[in-house]
Amino acid sequence: MTNKTPAIDFPSRIGVWWNSEPWPIREAQSIAREIEELGFGSLFMPEGSGKDVLVESAAFLAATDRLVVGTGIANIHFRIPTPAEGGARTLAALHPGRFVLGLGVSHAPAVEQNMKGTYSKPLATMRTYLERMNSLPAEVEEGAHPARLLAALGPKMIELSGELADGAHPYLVTPEQTAATRTILGPDKWVISEQAVADLGSAEEQLRYAHTHVGVYSSLANYRNSWLRQGFDESDLVPGGSDRLVRSLVGMGTVEQAVASVTAHLDAGADHVVIQVVGEGPTTDPRPALRELASVLKL
């Protein structure tokens, strides 16, 4: 891990993926501090239509001492390339080895319906965006280069994440897909996989949480195509996902079983795995489950 460039100084190999956007920023900073105190090595967060994920990253970096903070992901349709690169370099200069810039092309409904933009040729769009980021003069925060990851589900986007970025951030994938990503990228690029884990509760509650979570994504073409490539079929792609699909994508059962779903990605070749606690909805407090997970992980 430490030989990869740019370096990421993870305090541990397990981190957290958390949708902090619905939370007041001061409270979110407090949660970030507890995540660090529990021994988790990172905090990755998505970008919706509310808070700016780069500003959130700055807030979490300022509130913690060692925690790596990453965007999972920053939507490339929200900001033009050179200011995005300049902002990322500034964060990397302020917090060396602690900021990871994850980028993604988002999804057609979000871009066309919510943003009134045009969603077309995501691979070419991402390539152009990265090339323009790279055109920012080197003297802008010279020497500060955060690790840059792509939300890469298909083989061509994974290849691009090795060509013009520093690795991939697989999301809602099986360990087998993490292994496939590692095979495409080889040993010298970062693979930071997300693994959803159902919140504490009964077996019935956990299965319901898992269906609710997968249901957010089950109508999106990028994820549907990804799951078909991973060996699922159309019968699994019902609204909310089949039981087979959600059990393959969301860790459930005892805390030990949930931990096993996380470490399976490490065994498959991930450098780092980020845990997303999924419950009733986006305002689920992840801390009770994270405390239980940390005690078993012995971070």
What's the pLDDT tens digit per position in 45-101?
Answer: 999 878 999 999 999 999 999 999 999 999 999 899 999 999 999 999 999 999 999
- The answer as to whether 6 is a domain residue is no
Model confidence pLDDT, tens digit, residues 124-169: 999 999 999 999 998 889 889 999 999 999 999 999 999 999 999 9
Instruction: Report the relative pairing of strands 68-71 and 42-45 from DSSP bridges.
Output: parallel
Distance CA 194, CA 149 (A): 13
Does residue 234 have a pLDDT over 90? yes
For residue 240, what are its two tokens? Answer: 């909310």
Mean pLDDT within 216-230: 96
Q: How many CB atoms are located within 10 Å of the residue 68 CB? A: 28
Residue 222 lies in a domain: no
Distance in angstroms (rounded) separating the CA atoms of residues 258 and 271: 18
The reply to whether 4 falls in a domain is no
- Strand ranges inside the chain, DSSP E: 14-17, 42-45, 68-71, 74-75, 99-104, 147-150, 167-168, 190-198, 250-251, 272-278
Angle between helices 255-267 and 175-185 (to 10 degrees): 20
Tell me the C-alpha distance between 212 and 194, whole Å. Answer: 17
pLDDT at 118: 72
Q: Is the pLDDT of residue 237 over 50?
A: yes
Residue 104 vs residues 15, 126, 177, 231, 281: alpha-carbon distances, Å: 20, 8, 18, 23, 23
| Domain range enclosing 259 | 14-202+254-297
* pLDDT tens, residue by residue, 196-222: 999 999 999 999 999 999 999 999 999
Q: Assign residue 111 the CATH number of its domain.
A: 3.20.20.30
Is the per-residue pLDDT at 191 higher than 80?
Answer: yes
The 10s digit of each residue's pLDDT in 24-44 is 999 999 999 999 999 999 999
- The total number of structural domains in the chain stands at 1
211 in a domain, yes or no? no
Residue 181 lies in a domain: yes
